[in-house]
Amino acid sequence: MQKQRGGNRSTDVRGKYERASLKYGRKPGAPTTDRDDDRAKSFVQKRRLNKIEKDIHKDTIRLNKYIANSGICSRREADELITQGLVLVNGKVVQEMGYQVEKTDKVVFDGQNITPEKPVYILLNKPKGYISTTKDDKARKTVMDLVSNASPYRVFPVGRLDRSTTGVILLTNDGHMTKKLTHPSFDSKKIYHVTLDKKLTNEDMRLIVEGIRLEEGIATIDQISFIEGKPKNEIGMEISIGWNRVIRRIFQRLGYEVEALDRVMFAGMTKKNIKRGHWRILTDLEVNTLKML
């Protein structure tokens, strides 16, 4: 999607994000049904979770797998670290190949404690009425309630969607990935489908393109357009800044109320084929794509 700083565009943003999502979907014309797809996805996800569950319930784990599961390196590279005497278990250097580590053991590499928690990446299509936190003092529903059976590990939402906003959100236990995707210097593209209480005028669209002043500064967007085939109160917006409720505040400044806000794309991932309130585990290809961003 090209960056735009002026003029009105009739580009169908919605069409673009839907076409882009086909990269990971079923090929057009394939004979399988939606029910077949759901069964296949369910089977694959169960296999992945079963593998994780087996690792968790084992009393011991090979040292190289312990290191690899921590996300530091591959199992083969872990073997090299072990043979070079760079790994300590309970304060002692271990160079034995195939050494079994117990869960209570303390493993140190490069002066840092490591844990064998395998990274998990969950893509959720968040419904309205849930907040994007791990817990809430007011006992309100959180996204954690929706993914409670998705992983044996504790995961955290990457970024936030406010309670009234729906759409795609990532949850993971990968701290490095979370920091990368939420850091202000990272150009994390997000596309929203905005429904306003009235039609957006061309003049106000021009003002949004030029930038709206908010408390934090000038709020700039990457692209905005009317959605082809939809009323003029339905807008597609691509934005990189992560200010709190920024889209709602942009339109409020111009006298509009956002009636519905749906995030349809985040860091290249879409909610296509994920029903509202449902989730799926990211594929290895999708995880690798995120790591290369």
Q: What does pLDDT average to in each consecutive run of 10 residues of the chain (293 residues)? A: 45 46 43 59 63 62 87 86 93 92 88 81 97 90 94 87 96 85 80 98 97 96 95 96 93 98 95 95 92 82
Handedness of CA 141, 257, 278, 51 (dihedral sign): negative
Interacting residues of 231 by C-beta distance below 8 A, sequence separation 6+: 199
Residue 46: the pLDDT is 63
> 122 has which bridge partners?
171, 281
174 is catalytic: no
Q: How many residues does the chain have?
A: 293
Interacting residues of 242 by C-beta distance below 8 A, sequence separation 6+: 159, 182, 184, 188
| CB-CB contact of 212 with 206 (8 Å) | no
Q: Which of 162, 187, 197, 284 is catalytic?
A: 162
| CB-CB contact of 152 with 52 (8 Å) | yes
- Beta strands 156-157 and 212-214 are unpaired
Interacting residues of 272 by C-beta distance below 8 A, sequence separation 6+: 18, 21, 22, 25
Residue 202: the pLDDT is 96
